[in-house]
Structure 1
Amino acid sequence: MESAATRLAEVDANIARMCKIARRKREDVTLIAVSKTHPTERIAPLLEAGHRVFGENRVQEAQGKWPELREAYPDAELHLIGQLQSNKAEDAVDMFDCIHALDRMSLLKALAKAMDKAGKRVPCFVQVNIGDEDQKGGCPISEVPEFIGKVRDADIPVAGLMCLPPAVIEPAPFFALLAKLADDNGVEGLSMGMSGDYETAVQLGATHVRVGTALFGARS
C-alpha cells in the first residue's frame, strides 16, 4: 500500500498540474482531506506528512477524534462538510473552523445564535442544490441571492458556495454554474470537487476540494 505521504504528494501534484493548465496559483486551492469514518491512526500519518486541513461529516464523530489530534497538532484546521442539524449548531461552532453546508433559514438562525453566544464568527459556505435533487440538501438556485443576503445580515462570514453535483452526470457544467453563481453574487470561495472529479473542479475555479478516498483509500 502507498504511504499517506505518497498519496498526499500525488493529489497535490494533480492539483498543481490543473492549476497550471487553468493559469491559477497552486496556493489558491485548499485541499481538504476528508477524514470521515477514518480513525485517528489513519489521520495521524497525513498530519505527520505536513497536511493540516481536514474535513469531517458529523459533529459527534469529530468530537470523538479531534481533541486528541489537535492537542498534538494545534495548527490543524477542521471543516464540517456534511449536513448539519440545527440542534448541533453550538457544538459545530465550538469544534470547526469552517462550515460547508449552510443551506436553510432554520440553520442560519441557529448558527447566528451559537456564534453570538460563543463570541466568535465561523466562516460558512452556502450549499447550493446545484442539480435540483429532492434527496439532497442545499439552497435552491433561485433563492441563492436572497439567502446570501440573509447570511450577511446575520454577520456570518460568507466563505463562498458549495455543491455536490448529481452522481451519474458529468460534473463540469454544474461546477461552471456554481462558479457563475458565485461571481454573480460577489463571493469568491468555491467548495467543489471530490476524489473522482477534483481535477475538473480545480480547472473550473474550485478554491476548496474535498478529497477522501484518494488520500485514505476506500472506506471499510
Structure 2
Amino acid sequence: MSAQVFSSYVHAGLWEIVDKAPLLPKDIRWHFVGHLQRNKVRSLLGAVPNLEVVESVDGEKLADKLSAFVLEEEREPLGVMVQVNTSGEVSKFGVSPGESCIGLARHIHQQCPGLKLVGLMTIGMADYSSRPENFTCLVECRRAVAQDLGLQEADLALSMGMSGDYQAAIAMGATHVRVGSSIFGARDYSKA
C-alpha cells in the first residue's frame, strides 16, 4: 500500500486552522495534527465543519469530549487516530505503546459513538525525523490494536513520517505522511 499525501490537507496549529479553514474551499478534507486540549474541541470542530480526522487523540477524556460534541451537533462520526509516543520522549504527547495504546483504541472503538477509529499516528524525533524502531513500534501497535478489536490491520491507517523521513516511513508501512515543509518550506513557529 502506498502512503497518502494529502494535497488538500494543511497542517496548522489550532488557531491557524480556525482562521484559515473558513477562507478556503469547502471540499478540503482537513486533518488536524497537534496537541488538542479538551477545552478547545468546540473551537476546532465548530470552526472546521469539514474536519475529517483528528490525528492526535492522546487520552480518553479528549476522545469523550470529541465524541460528545459530534453527537451534540449531529455530525457524521469524526475520524480519529490514537497518538502513540513511540520515541518515549517526555516532550511528546501520546500514549505509551502497549496496553495504554490498546486501551485508548478500545475505548474509542467501544465507548465513543461519535468517533471512528481510523488509525494510529506518531510524531518524529526532535529533529523531525524518526528512527526505524519508532516506525516499527507503531506497526506493532497497529497489529496489537487490530487483534484486540477484531479488525484487519489494513483497516487502521499509520500516520508516520514527515519531510525528513517520509521515505523511510513509507518503506516501513506508512499510509499517511506529513510533508508540509517539503511543499511549503520551513515553518516559522514563532508566528504560530
Normalising by structure 1, report the TM-score: 0.73
SS at match of 2:187: coil
Match of 1:147 among 84, 93, 104: 104
Query: As a proportion of its length, which structure holds more helix?
Result: 1
Cα distance in structure 1, aligned partners of 2:187 and 2:126: 18
Counterpart residue identity of residue 20, structure 2: K
Gaps of 5+ in 2: 147-152
Q: Within 5 Å, which residues of 2 pair with 1:191-206? A: 191-206=159-174
Matched residue count: 172
The one-character-per-residue Cα deviations of 1:192-212 (angstroms, maximum 9, x if unpaired) are 000100111011111110111
Match of residue 140 from structure 2: 180
Native 8 Å contact 2:18 2:44 kept in 1: no
RMSD, aligned CA: 1.7
Match of residue 116 from structure 2: 157
The one-character-per-residue Cα deviations of 1:12-48 (angstroms, maximum 9, x if unpaired) are xxxxxxxxxxxx4x4xx2114xxxxxxxxxxxxxxxx
Match of residue 149 from structure 2: none
1:90–1:202 distance in 2 versus 1, CA, 3 Å: same
How much has 1:125 moved relative to structure 2? 0.5
Counterpart residue identity of residue 135, structure 1: S
Native 8 Å contact 1:56 1:78 kept in 2: no
> What is the identity percentage for the equivalent residue pairs of Structure 1 and Structure 2?
28
Q: Within 5 Å, which residues of 2 pair with 1:36-47? A: none
Q: Within 5 Å, which residues of 2 pair with 1:41-60? A: 51-58=7-14, 60=15
Match of residue 91 from structure 2: 135
